[in-house]
Structure 1
């Protein structure tokens, strides 16, 4: 139940689009996403928000939730992974194990949905932003992402050789022994951990990008962009 305001003096003063009071419960405002500032281009807007998130205190601003589905839609699965690169042609590149459930889904049904969530403080104000992306996942040629593999930290390369993603582990100690052998081969013997055949990358080509933005006491604004047949974007402002 909403609290009743006893008098006009309880409301406080209005400054721009926000209402300020001594009581946090009585503050409200309306957020505004200025799409014109980004030339009505959702990729420019994403890059701006992403760069700001990377400059905040967030640990992994490139983390995204990826949802996939089987061909018949009976199995829908979501998991978090990392955005590895935003390609020059506006594709969102991710990497994974080709033996995983997500890759089985992608082979049957390339339609995916991604979501980024960023909550952080800027100049003492809480910023809350979400970006949703619906699109088609395309498996890339190895030559397109080998550099991304090479740039991975050591533990990621060890994992790529060690782990069969999603497979049941019968003996943790045996897995640990294999890990230590791989690690020692690299550190002590200088053996190179080449990119394994099951290491794969996908590019998500967006068909829809939706932005949700607000601050601590504001009602969120949302801007949805839909890709047209001529590769232009049609945008609409939608209610929170």
Structure 2
């Protein structure tokens, strides 16, 4: 006879992540919950890239567009940064959202596609003027002899473009959309009895569809 006296009903409950769901719609539901409950940057996500020979690196970026119509999950960056160089050399990546207050996370994997120059322009100029200046003045990820060198650039660019209130977008400042092929939803439960469901894109062309399965925690 099994002794379940140390487990409560919540731990023994079946999966609450719906099977055969649209993973984009499920992401929207979870993201909406995060925006209402996560105290800081609910759109923050870890972006993992790798060199062609497989050396990985990871950093936090901000989600700036998502959904089926978007074609995936979009972020913006300096393509001459370390992550930009890795992306150019190996156009695939993975994302991780971790919303600690909700005890949930989502892992997303797939190839990357660069946004159009028009889309990059539109987003760059939607940012605050201070952010445009800060981005345009930065040789992101490259060595900096002293911080004052960067601050001098900021001051100079600020003065040059203050009248028009916007900075020309540097050609290397762009965005990428991750086209998901795998999306995994995870819910924390006590004693490692976590709830995990993986959605995988299958087929080709017009026959593409999502399949899903539970995973052992």
TM-score (norm 1): 0.79
Tell me how far apart the structure 2 counterparts of residues 90 and 200 of structure 1 sit (CA, whole Å): 17
Spell out, residue by residue over 1:48-86, the C-alpha distance to the aligned partner (whole angstroms, 9 max, x if none).
00111011142111111111111121x211111111111
Q: Is residue 115–residue 177 contact of structure 2 (8 Å, CA) maintained in 1?
A: yes
SS at match of 2:214: strand
Moved more, 48-57 or 148-157: 148-157
Moved more, 136-145 or 217-226: 217-226
Measured after TM superposition, the shift of residue 171 of structure 1 is: 2.2
Q: Which runs of 5+ in 2 are unaligned?
A: none
Q: 1:50 aligns with which of 23, 31, 49?
A: 31
SS at match of 2:136: helix
Spell out, residue by residue over 1:147-169, the C-alpha distance to the aligned partner (whole angstroms, 9 max, x if none).
22222123321122110111111
Moved more, 100-109 or 209-218: 209-218
Give the superposed CA RMSD: 2.3
Alpha-carbon spacing, 1:12–1:104, altered in 2? closer, same or farther (3 Å): closer
Tell me how far apart the structure 2 counterparts of residues 29 and 194 of structure 1 sit (CA, whole Å): 57
Q: Is residue 35–residue 41 contact of structure 1 (8 Å, CA) maintained in 2?
A: no
1:226 alignment counterpart: 200
Q: Is residue 54–residue 61 contact of structure 1 (8 Å, CA) maintained in 2?
A: yes
2:47 alignment counterpart: 66
Q: Is residue 31–residue 214 contact of structure 1 (8 Å, CA) maintained in 2?
A: no
Tell me how far apart the structure 1 counterparts of residues 193 and 106 of structure 2 sit (CA, whole Å): 16
Tell me how far apart the structure 2 counterparts of residues 60 and 41 of structure 1 sit (CA, whole Å): 25
Tell me how far apart the structure 1 counterparts of residues 176 and 38 of structure 2 sit (CA, whole Å): 28
Q: Which runs of 5+ in 1 are unaligned?
A: 1-7, 19-27, 121-126
Alpha-carbon spacing, 1:57–1:134, altered in 2? closer, same or farther (3 Å): closer
Tell me how far apart the structure 2 counterparts of residues 106 and 12 of structure 1 sit (CA, whole Å): 48
1:33 alignment counterpart: 16
Alpha-carbon spacing, 1:32–1:155, altered in 2? closer, same or farther (3 Å): farther
Give the alignment of 1:68-107 within 5 angstroms.
Answer: 68-73=49-54, 75-87=55-67, 88-107=69-88
1:145 alignment counterpart: 120
Tell me how far apart the structure 1 counterparts of residues 124 and 13 of structure 2 sit (CA, whole Å): 43
Tell me how far apart the structure 1 counterparts of residues 63 and 113 of structure 2 sit (CA, whole Å): 15
Larger radius of gyration: 1
The structure where strand makes up a greater share of residues is: 1
